[in-house]
Amino acid sequence: MNIIIFGPPGAGKGTQSNFIVKKFNLVQLSTGNILRDEIKKKTQLGMEIDKEINLGKFVPDKIISKLVETFLSNKDYKNKIIFDGYPRNLWQANDLDKLLIKYEQKIDLALNLKTDIEIIKKRITGRYLCNKCGKIYNKYFNPPPKNKDCCSDEFLNKREDDNMDIAIKRFNIYMKETSPVLDFYKKKKLLKEINGESSIDQIYKEISDIIAVIEA
């Protein structure tokens, strides 16, 4: 099964993907994480991407398309992908359809984590990532465990683009560019809406129930 998870930046896509990947034996394709890894490696491509992201912009569609194709063409990942943060606009949604046909796959479910801007601001300004294991935490809602050799202060990192101004900018771009993509999947009858303002556990339960039904 291939799943897409939608929601504005900070809605909890990464948090939920982390859980779902384990429970349903899927692979997470977070275009954001892949791009950030590229930046860390300081490649030419990485530096170009860095500039765009720090301006609050999207990375060029063609670059994203190449990244996604490496996943879809990988036989180990066939029908096992959870797309997180992609497709971000209609061009990417149409491109994904073409890639799915090319690699004989389909989307089984699209989830939308609906979350308001006021909540998003707290989620983003409080977000921390563990360098070592990749887990996502929040200063306000989901603090990391104390005294561990993983996820302790020395491993926690703030994303450079996680500040209030960029959060608002990214939210507005999301509304403008990504809302039409939701309609695209609604028309295909694949879209399920979820209240992204519920607790992490509650959302996880709702998503698990939906997937279980589809799998059955």
- CA distances 30 to 15, 172, 187, 202, Å, are 11, 20, 24, 22
Tell me the window of 8-16, 20-28, 34-42, 179-187 that interacts with ligand ADP (CB under 6 A): 8-16
By a kind-dependent CB cut-off of 5 to 8 A, residue 167 interacts, out of ligand ADP, Zn ion, none, with: none
Q: Whose Cβ is closer to Zn ion: residue 55's or residue 150's?
A: 150
Is there a contact between 178 and 86 (Cβ–Cβ < 8 Å)?
Answer: no
Is there a contact between 72 and 105 (Cβ–Cβ < 8 Å)?
Answer: yes
- Per rule CB under 6 A, is residue 200 in the interface with ligand ADP? yes
- Per rule CB under 6 A, is residue 170 in the interface with ligand ADP? no
- Per rule CB under 6 A, is residue 144 in the interface with ligand ADP? no
- Per rule CB under 6 A, is residue 87 in the interface with ligand ADP? no
Minimum distance from CB of 177 to ligand ADP (Å)? 15
Amino acid letter at 69?
A: E
Q: Whose Cβ is closer to Zn ion: residue 104's or residue 153's?
A: 153
C-alpha angle with apex 88: 81 to 119, nearest 5 degrees?
Answer: 95
Tell me the window of 37-45, 52-60, 89-97, 194-202 that interacts with ligand ADP (CB under 6 A): 194-202
Number of residues lying near ligand ADP (CB under 6 A) = 20
Is there a contact between 165 and 117 (Cβ–Cβ < 8 Å)?
Answer: no
The helix or strand, by DSSP H or E, that contains position 128, with its residue range, turns out to be strand 127-130
